[in-house]
């Protein structure tokens, strides 16, 4: 645990203190689980009742919510962002010390900057460049001519195929693979001819990539992630996809080849996008939606149907199968009504 006084914590976070500046804070906790030694936060009014019952020593909340809490408080217009900053102050995991493990296999011409940590059984191919303060944990494979910017952090077992480019402060979680071949095949009439994938993967600064995510290299040009993109676990990004800055992509999203996604978009869990479409800046796509054509205006978009009790869903499914016959009956009835109106006496 890292011990703080509430006043010093408020100063470090740049928020307003209401309460005892000498109150000791040893960690962060949820409203439900916090004790008198913990800092908690209220970012969603759905948790107002949990706030009333909380035993937290102090709470991060909006000034407009201060009346809901009688204890010590830290006031912020964005308490969740303040909590995110605070989380780093209580992160007690020790930093990786500079140095190279004896079992690492590194080509003779690799350029390695100052303060780099290289873990056990790491493999780095010829022509790679590793900038200052990078952390490359155990079992990572970095292919030929890869470039890693300053303070990149690769968790164990990340694989970078040749020619991958990572900007500064990129973080990639375990099991992710960048730069593998895209799913490119031409049908010959009797089978499939593989298409050589000649592009790269290029990742901007401050990108965060979750575990077991795959980002394919471009077929001709590059697959590009601009700065500040955040990607959850188990996401598939196909060849020649271009993702705009600060877009967020949740788990199990699949993006087909040559799709362009704008800046500041949000793709919720399980979203699928067909290839060769464009998504405008500022688009929010809700969970499990399937996007089959381009979206040219910002806003929220959905597809599919909401869940309901199984008995009701079975009835709905039957109705869906009857839609075509019902539409045909409606067309016939409309035609009959039109004929009656035409032949009716004036």
The pLDDT score that the predictor gives to residue 47 is 95
Kindly report the CATH number assigned to the domain that includes residue 277. Answer: 2.160.10.10
Among 41, 71, 89, identify where a domain stops.
89
Residue 251: inside a domain: yes
Do 57 and 200 lie in a common domain? no
What is 35-74 written as a DSSP string? Answer: -TTEEEE--SGGGHHHHHH---SEEEE-GGGGGG--SEEE
Domain assignment present for 108: yes
Q: Report residue 342's pLDDT band, with 50, 70 and 90 as the boundaries.
A: confident
CA distance 245 to 165: 16
Q: Are 252 and 269 in contact (CB under 8 A)?
A: yes
Structural domain includes residue 309: no
In a domain, 308, yes or no: no
Q: Report how far apart the first and last C-alpha atoms of the chain are (Å, whole number).
A: 90
Report the domain count for the chain: 3
Same domain, 104 and 77: no
- Structural domain span for residue 335: 314-346
C-alpha triplet 184, 187, 193: angle, nearest 5°? 60
Do 59 and 138 have their domain in common? no
Provide the CATH number for the domain around residue 34. Answer: 3.40.1390.10
Considering Cα of 158, then 146, then 213, then 287, what sign does the dihedral take?
positive
261 and 321 fall within a common domain: no
Q: Is 97 left (phi over 0), alpha (psi -120 to 50) or beta?
A: beta
| Residue 94 lies inside a defined structural domain of this protein | no
Q: With respect to residue 293, please indicate whether it lies within any of the assigned structural domains.
A: yes
239 is catalytic: yes
pLDDT, one tens digit per residue, over 193-249 is: 999 999 999 999 999 999 999 999 999 999 999 999 999 999 999 999 999 999 999
Q: Using CA atoms, how far apart are residues 242 and 47, in angstroms rounded to an integer? A: 38
Query: What are the distances in angstroms from CA 132 to CA 98, 113, 207, 209, 264?
Result: 10, 4, 17, 20, 29
Catalytic option among 117, 239, 264, 276: 239
Both 163 and 250 in a single domain? yes
- Please tell me whether residues 54 and 73 are part of one structural domain: yes
185 and 227 co-located in one domain: yes
The token pair at 91 is 């992160």
d(CA 164, CA 299): 33
In degrees rounded to 5, what are phi and psi of residue 64?
-70, -15
Residue 77: DSSP 8-state = S
Q: Are residues 165 and 258 in the same domain?
A: yes
Contacts 24+ apart (CB under 8 A), 252-256: none
**Do 293 and 331 reside in the same domain of the chain?**
no
Is 170 found in the same domain as 250?
yes
Task: Tell me which H or E stretch contains 315.
Answer: helix 310-343
For the segment 95-143, what is each residue's pLDDT rounded down to a tens digit? 899 999 999 999 999 999 999 999 999 999 999 999 999 999 999 999 9
**Backbone angles phi and psi of 283, in degrees to 5:** -95, 135
Residue 307 lies in a domain: no
CB 228 within 8 A of CB 207: yes
Residues 128 and 210 in one domain: yes
Please report whether residue 85 resides in a domain.
Answer: yes
Same domain, 267 and 286: yes
Calculate mean pLDDT across residues 13-42. Answer: 97
Mean pLDDT of 250-257: 98
User: Residues 180, 198: contact at Cβ < 8 Å?
Assistant: no
2: pLDDT strictly greater than 60:
yes
- Please, are residues 294 and 260 in contact by the beta-carbon 8 Å criterion? no
Decide which of 89, 107, 126 is a domain's last residue: 89
Q: Tell me what pLDDT residue 306 has.
A: 81
Q: At 341, is the pLDDT very low, low, confident or very high (cuts 50, 70, 90)?
A: confident
């Amino acid at each position: 645990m890292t011990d703080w006084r509430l006043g010093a914590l408020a100063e470090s976070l740049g928020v307003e203190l209401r309460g005892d500046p000498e109150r000791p804070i040893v960690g962060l906790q949820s409203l439900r689980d916090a004790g008198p030694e913990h800092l908690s936060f209220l970012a969603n009014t759905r948790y107002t009742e949990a706030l009333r019952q909380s035993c937290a020593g102090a709470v991060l909340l909006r000034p407009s919510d201060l009346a809901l809490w009688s204890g010590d408080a830290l006031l912020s217009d964005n308490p969740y962002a303040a909590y995110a900053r605070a989380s780093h102050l209580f992160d007690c995991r020790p930093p990786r010390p500079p140095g190279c493990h004896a079992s690492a296999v590194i080509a003779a011409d690799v350029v390695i900057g100052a303060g780099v940590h290289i873990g056990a059984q790491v493999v780095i191919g010829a022509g790679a460049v590793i900038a200052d303060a990078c952390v490359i944990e155990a079992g990572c494979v970095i292919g030929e001519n890869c470039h890693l910017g300053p303070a990149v952090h690769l968790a164990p077992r990340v694989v970078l195929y040749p020619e991958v480019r990572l900007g500064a402060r990129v973080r990639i979680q375990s099991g992710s693979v960048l730069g593998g071949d895209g799913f490119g095949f031409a049908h010959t009439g009797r089978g499939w001819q593989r298409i050589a994938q000649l592009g790269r993967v290029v990742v901007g600064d401050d990108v965060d990539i979750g575990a077991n995510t795959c980002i394919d290299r471009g077929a001709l040009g590059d697959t590009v992630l601009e700065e500040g993109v955040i990607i959850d676990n188990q996401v598939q990004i196909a060849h020649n996809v271009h993702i705009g800055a600060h877009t967020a992509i949740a788990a199990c999203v699949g993006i087909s080849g040559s799709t362009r996604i704008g800046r500041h978009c949000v793709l919720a869990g399980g979203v699928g996008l067909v290839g060769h479409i464009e998504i405008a800046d500022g688009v929010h796509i809700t969970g499990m939606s399937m996007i089959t054509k381009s979206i040219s205006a910002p806003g929220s978009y959905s597809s599919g149907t909401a869940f309901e009790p199984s008995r009701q869903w079975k009835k709905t499914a039957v109705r869906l199968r009857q839609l075509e016959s019902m539409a045909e009956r409606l067309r016939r009835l409309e035609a009959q009504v039109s004929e009656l109106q035409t032949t009716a006496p004036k």
